[in-house]
Every structure is written in structure tokens, then in C-alpha cells.
Structure 1
Amino acid sequence: MSRPEDNLPPDLFYNEKEARQYTTSSRIRNIQADMTHRALELLDLQEPSFILDIGCGSGLSGEILSGVEEDEGGPHTWVGMDISSSMLAQALERDVEGDMLLADIGQGVPFRAGSFDAAISISAIQWLCNAETSDVSPEGRLKRFFDGLYASLKRGGKAVCQFYPKNAQQRSLISNAAIKAGFGAGILEDDPETKSVKVYLVLSVGGGDVTGAVSGMENVDVMDARRKERKRGKEFEKKGSKAWIMRKKSQMEAKGKVVKTSSKYTGRRRKTAF
């Protein structure tokens, strides 16, 4: 069975007919509700918050955000983004409470820095891995999205993005883009031994071990440590050192440029001449 994102871009796939079928399907509504409640559990918000709903569609998740009881930390206020005008039309027809913006998340998150306390996304970000034209790359779309999301969240803010990776490469592509943007990141899997596995990318602004930012996390692949290791390696490789020079030479040679032959004197500091 082919995946929707392999057929058409989301703004074309979710036309008026598809948007209505998606919104009225009891099966889809139940799945969406379960995943939204799980995302809220992982966010662990203790007070009413301002939340960005990424790929908000027809507002199914937004209804749950608005309906959180006071004793559970709500109700929350939310703003949604979606690329499908037909999906947003369904949300307007259903008179959901949040404000919504017609926008392509692959072009960034167009809000003032530090606007949101938290963010959620249900079944949306895997669409960023499909480029519709030759001048757009999945890497570029993911970078613009995660850079914008990081900036839009308050310091200490959290985001939970449920997504369906096509394969291990796509899963790594998405998680690595989040890490490069500055997030502390981890991937949690619910029901990992079944066909109905649910993958959640859990993010915290400001880096750090994401398991410390989210309570009750299990089955977590923590990726923040890899980012720290890369930084640590760069600290040891100081500019002008032999390791730095050798790496630069390798880069130059890979580009077909002529470089001087290395020797035992490469990178050695000369004595100051008086």
C-alpha cells in the first residue's frame, strides 16, 4: 500500500473530498485523539499554555487542546499551521476554537521568537522528506522547519512530533535535522513490537538530555549525546593544529585542488624570530 506523501504534495492530496473523509472517519478521529493525548502526556504541561499545532489539519488535535480540564493543566490556547486550504476549511466549518494559518512548514515557522510554550505535531513532519521540485531538497525543508520551530519556542519549551518514518534513513534524517537546529532530542516508540508502532520525536529547547525534560519516558533513543560528542571533538581540533590542517587538506584534495605534501613538520609551530 503506497503512502499518501509518495503520491502528491499535501496541499493537493488533501483536496475537499479527502479532507472531508479524513475529518469524518471515526477510525481516524480515534487514532488522532489517542496520539494527541499521548503527545500532551509527554509534554507534561502543568498550567494553561500557548501551543503551536503543526500540521493542524481540520483541528482534530486542537479540539483536544482546547478541552483539557483545569485540573489537568488546561485549557490550552493554540494556533495551527497547515498547507491544505481544504483541511482548514473543514476546521472553519466545524468552528474549532484555535486560530489557524495557511502555511507550508517546509518554508519555516513564521512567528516571533519565543512565542510558544510548547508545540505538537501529529502525522505531519514526514511530508517534509518529499521534495516536489528539483530545486527543493528534504534537507533544506527540514532545516527551515526545525530552525523556525526552535526559534518560536520559549527557552525551556518542549515539542512532541508524532510521525511515520518510511525507513531508518528517513528517521535519522528527521532527528538529525532537529539536533542540528539545537534541540535536545529523543525518539520514543509506543508498541515497538507491533505493526501499529507509534514514533514520537520529543524535543526540548536549550539542549540537554531530553529524558530529564519529559517525565515518565521509556523506550527512548536519546540522541543528544551524539551532538555533545561532535562538539567535544571540535574543541580538541583547534584551528591551526595538525589535525585541523590535515582535515582541511583532505577537503581541498577532495575538491581536486593541489595541496602541499604533509611532513613531520606539518602543524608544528615555528619559534619566534627576534
Structure 2
Amino acid sequence: MCRSTDVKQAVLARNDDLAAALRGDLARRGTVLVNLLSSPGSGKTELLGRVLARAVERGVPVAALTADLATENDARRLARSGAPVQQVLTDGLCHLEALQVRTRLEGWLPEDTAVLFVENVGNLVCPASYDLGETLRIVLMAVTEGEDKPLKYPTAFGSAHLVVVTKTDLAEAAGFDEDAFRANVHRVNPGVGIVRTCARTGDGVDTLLDHALEARDGAPPHHPPLAPRPHDHTVHRTPGDETVHDHHPHPATTAP
């Protein structure tokens, strides 16, 4: 094994240790962390803003961290919900790590927070390999992105506890084939739940919040992520289909 691989394995292993400790600390205070992953332009920020606003309306104490490479635009947008929001600037780093999350939470996260949403950097490659201490990992995709995206990014979709389709009001105009999309999702993550949402109309907003609260109350995710060997290359073969190569992260797990 080359030295660069050894270093990467060590970095991921240390991140996993920090994530597990953070997950335990949050569980003891009654907070669940929800990690949101998507490509840029999926509508993740707008949908999250709707979820936060709905939580405030329902009296659910929530908070959000949002990550970006250079600007605080998303934090300003999310703060309109009335929920506590903090920005994490990664200075060019294409993903968040558990240490960044823990450091940003120190002295800031309100004690009564039930759900902490973390909006990861817009990217479906690097963020998928890093456990942030989440109990619920949600991967989002807009109907405009193409039905084959789960096959292109099997690590992200394969490690999701829940998959969310966004911008469903544009499905017909975009020619979105939902049946094909669902088949592709379940090819890389058999049985995972799929939720349809539209930030414009509010469809699916309460459903997402309810999923987070269920995870906080101890209900297992609706479908566990795939669990191959941590930080190793695996190969998935579907009878009659081509081989899909994937590099899986250490899966997020529910704290005891």
C-alpha cells in the first residue's frame, strides 16, 4: 500500500473517531445531526430554509450549520427562517469534516436543540466519505439533474438513509423519468426511502422534519446505509448490468 493511501486511511479513521464521539455527545443532550448532501444547484438551501421555518412554526427547536467555500450567502438566507444558523467557511476545501463541525458548535449550539441540520458543501464526491457525527444522512437531487445521477455517484447515494427529490414542480418540463430514477437509486441502495419535495409549494417539508424527529426519538433510519469494509474499494454487481465501482465511506450509525 502506498504512503498516500496510508495517510488517507489515517485521516478517515481519525475523522470517524471524532464523528462517533460527537454523535454520542449530541445524543446525550437530545440532539440529532442530519447531514444534507447534494450537488450545487439542487435547491438544498431553499428546501432547508423551508424546513427550518416549518420547525419554528411547529415549536421544534432546530438549528443549522451551512458550509460553503467562500461566502456567507446561504447562512443569511437560512437565517430568515428564524432558526439559529451559523456559516462554516471551508476556504476551498470540498467537504466538511467532523472536527470542523465540533469546533463550530462549541459555545454556540442552543442547549434545547432537537435537530441540527448540516448543509454540506455542494459536492457529491468528497463529502460522501466523511462521517460528521450524523444519525441521518440525506442525499438530495433535483429533477433537472438526470435520472442516472445515482449510478454516477454511488458512494453518496449508497450511503444515504433517505433520498430526496427536489424541484418536483419542474419534473414534466425537465422530462424527468421518476421510475428510472427510483430504479437507479435502489440499484445502489436497495430499499432506501425516497421523498418527493418542492420548496415552492412546501410539498414534503413536514415529511423531512418528521424523519429527523423520528431519528432523534430513537427510531432507526428507514433504511441503513450499505456497510462494506470502511474506507475500502468494493464492487457491486447487479445481474445483467455493468459493474459499478464504488469507494464507500464508513457508514453513519445511530448512537446507542
TM-score (norm 1): 0.35
Q: TM-score, normalised by structure 2?
A: 0.36
Answer 1 or 2: higher relative contact order, Cα 8 Å, separation at least 6: 2
